[in-house]
Chain A
Amino acid sequence: MSYASHLRCRECGRHYPLEPLHVCEFCFGPLEVAYDYEALKSHLTRERIERGPPSVWRYSDLLPADREQAVDIGAGFTPLLPCRNLGEALGLRRLHIKNDCANPTWSFKDRVVTVASTKAREFGFDTLACASTGNLANSVAAHAARGGMRALVFIPANLEQGKVVGAAIYGPTLVAVDGSYDEVNRLCSELADKYPWAFVNINIRPYYSEGSKTLAYEVVEQLGWRAPDHCIVPLASGSLFTKIWKGIKEMAWLGLVDWAHTRMSGAQPEGCSPIVSAWERQSLDIRPVRPNTIAKSLAIGNPADGYYSLKVLEHSGGFGVAVTDDEVVEGMKLLAETEGIFAETAGGVVIAGLRRLASQGRIGPDELVVAFITGAGLKTQEAVLDKLTPPLHIEPHVSSFEEAVARRRQEAVTAGAEAWPGQNQRR
């Protein structure tokens, strides 16, 4: 059962009933779901959680929707992998990757959308809507299909065909909007006011964002009921970042972990880094930017939870880090080549940010570190397409193969690298 008790304004603290509301009527501050933690304390145990299903819904006591009615395509309980190879490359002995590429639509958005769609259906909505350039569109369309709801997905008219397919396959109504990014934003806000739809990140946002807490719960459980020393998370709207922090804190409040002094660090691409820029200025004032980066899933120039992310950075003692697009690609390749995980550009941002923080000594070699990889690389192949070693082309003869290998080896020697890992080991 859910122990959600009410909505609370994050600015003025006013309370509201659990309804499809997202801003405070008085100050227009954002609303957040609050829980009856006293009741939870006496009820929730590690054993109770462990008896639950292997999905986000094992934490349903800490979510604002009913597990029995869940619109569930199997989001969550993704692998937490100890990463010796990558750790060696970065000088981190206790590095783990939380691999959310393993979700049903290959990104962490399935966590938030399963909660949002369940709550939307509970409220009686028959239409699930969103505005997205990728991951969110895929997840909303998939969950609407599963939940027997109509899906309306707004996309910029210039979105690449490959990204349209990932949503279109589930049969939503796709609406391609001509206009600037800002105009699409404003249009969707107006439409959400006008029509009785569950717009997942507008009127359902307080419920939707709670789904991200499950990343924290899973990591804590997968580490054997302990909190990490340090988390590094990609920053877009900042919601994921603040909710991972909230999840870790809840685990401590409820006595499910003994210690929760996790430092939270956030990574953004330089071409869209309003949160990190404010952090570097030691300011809590977000200055909106026009995004210009290959990390499209992090391209949010006016982040809804930017201010709250800065508070988490401040309270937890974490760091903000912004990386170049070249570093993003290097990060993607490094993760793939050392751990076999093909992440999208946001994952490259995280690995590049992690490398920077480790090299600066801001993350210590013995800290228990968790890096959050939130989406799969097949969705953003164009970012690395011309950065990879092309295949060896040969005739169907052994001699052709050996000549090609020799050429490649010579090129590698010239470039100061191995032609392929382990080439000298099998003689």
Chain B
Amino acid sequence: MAKQRVKFTFPTDLIKEPVIWRLGKEFEVVTNIRRADVTEDRGWVVLELEGQLEEIERGVQWVVEQGVRVDPVPGDIVEG
């Protein structure tokens, strides 16, 4: 089993959508929220994803396609 720590940043129009619930429901991925800050117009959630690596990657791809920004927990890694 693989684990990935990621940060989801939600645009305003997805704040009310149960994206994380659907991720756990539609993919074989366990979601474990560690930190979050959500208001009515924006939100971010730091969480751990656990499952087979390919399944996590499929799940993350689906989350991105929904319009959620997915980043590594430490922020951007590619530096100048």
Contacts and interface: CB of A to CB of B under 8 A. Distances in A.
B34 interface: yes
Interface string A110-150: 00000000000000000000111111100000000000000
Nearest to B75: A304
The B interface is mostly helix, strand or loop, or mixed, namely strand
Nearest to B5: A28
Contacts of B71: 182, 185-186, 288, 302
Nearest to B41: A285
B48 interface: yes
A109 B79 CA distance: 10
Nearest to A156: B78
Given A23-B5, A28-B35, A285-B42, A186 B70 contact: yes
The size class of the interface chain A forms with chain B is 35 or more
B77 interface: yes
A135 B80 contact: yes
Contacts, number: 109
A189 B35 CA distance: 19
Interface in A169-209: 181-182, 184-186, 188-190, 192-193, 199, 201-202, 205
Nearest to A188: B77
Contacts of A109: 79
B80 A189 contact: no
Contacts of A182: 69-71
Contacts of A228: none
A296 interface: yes
A116 B63 CA distance: 34
B62 to A, nearest CB: 14
B77 A185 contact: yes
Contact of B74 (A154, A205, A301, A375): A205
B21 to A, nearest CB: 20
A303 interface: yes
Nearest to A181: B78
Given A28-B46, A182-B71, A205-B74, A300 B4 contact: no
Interface in B37-80: 37, 42, 46, 48, 53, 60, 69-80
Given A11-B35, A136-B80, A202-B74, 7 more contacts: A28-B34, A186-B70, A201-B79, A285-B37, A297-B80, A300-B76, A301-B76
Interface of B: 3-5, 9, 34-35, 37, 42, 46, 48, 53, 60, 69-80
